[in-house]
Amino acid sequence: MKLTGNTIFITGGGSGIGRGLAEAFHNLGNKVIISGRRKKNLQETLIANPGIDAVSLDVTNPIQIREVAANLVRDYPALNVVINNAGIMLPDNADGEVAEELLVSTVSTNLLAPIRVTSAFIEHLKTQPSSAILHVSSVLGFVPLAGTAVYSATKAALHSYSMSQRYRLKDSSVEVLEIAPPWVRTDLMNSREEERAMPLDDFIEQTMVSLETATTEVLVEGAKPMRNNPGPTEHGFVGQFNDMLVGVNKAA
């Protein structure tokens, strides 16, 4: 996708990967509008980045999504890029009862919201000479983390939806890209200080480079081994990955 001359709307843009992308695109001279539920995070981002705009949005509220989209199309008629970044990640128990509140909030935020947000903007995006939809998924959509089974499942579903959407839009001016991050130092699962996770600045820098030439998926080097895992022999790697994270040594 082209990295300059855009008007970009980013959900979940007040922190983590969303804020990192917002600042990177802003620094390239694009017009950036961010959204989120936490007004404090939005305000901090605006103060640190004069020129970025913000709107309050709860992406689990379909009525609010439609209202915000209509207002943005009216106020920013050149809007041509939508980045679905908002997401939540909570531990769950696939070997027992999954709490209803966790199930509903995770699926609503991570899967239903990107579909609803895209649906609210899609007809407008088709009118732009060059436009893009970016879905932020996760490598956990390819190699699930058993302790966050619902989160991993939503990201796998978002990957599938991205492929279908890309196919349906192949003859339009709208390109569909999927950013699949590895473990990154953000607030998700309290990973801000996690040494095993990729530094956020490094992730954003590599992602912006990849975006210039990507046509389907945007992958930093650290994400590629997990992206390449799915297939007939994927189960062994999934087991090894989860054993490693819970500290189980099956060879012992």
How far is Cα 187 from Cα 102, in angstroms, rounded to an integer? 17
Q: Respond yes or no: is residue 167 known to be catalytic.
A: no
Q: Which residues contact 108 (CB under 8 A, 6 or more apart)?
A: 59, 60
Q: What is the CB neighbour count within 10 angstroms for residue 95?
A: 8
Distances (CA, A) of 31 to 8, 49, 59, 104, 220: 6, 12, 21, 33, 25
3-state secondary structure of 86: coil
- Give yes or no for a contact between 132 and 230, defined as CB atoms under 8 angstroms apart: no
Query: Which two structure tokens, joined as six digits, stand for 174?
Result: 């709208």
3-state secondary structure of 13: coil
Amino acid at 34: I
* Among 105, 86, 62, residue whose Cα is nearest residue 10: 86
Residues known to be catalytic: 151
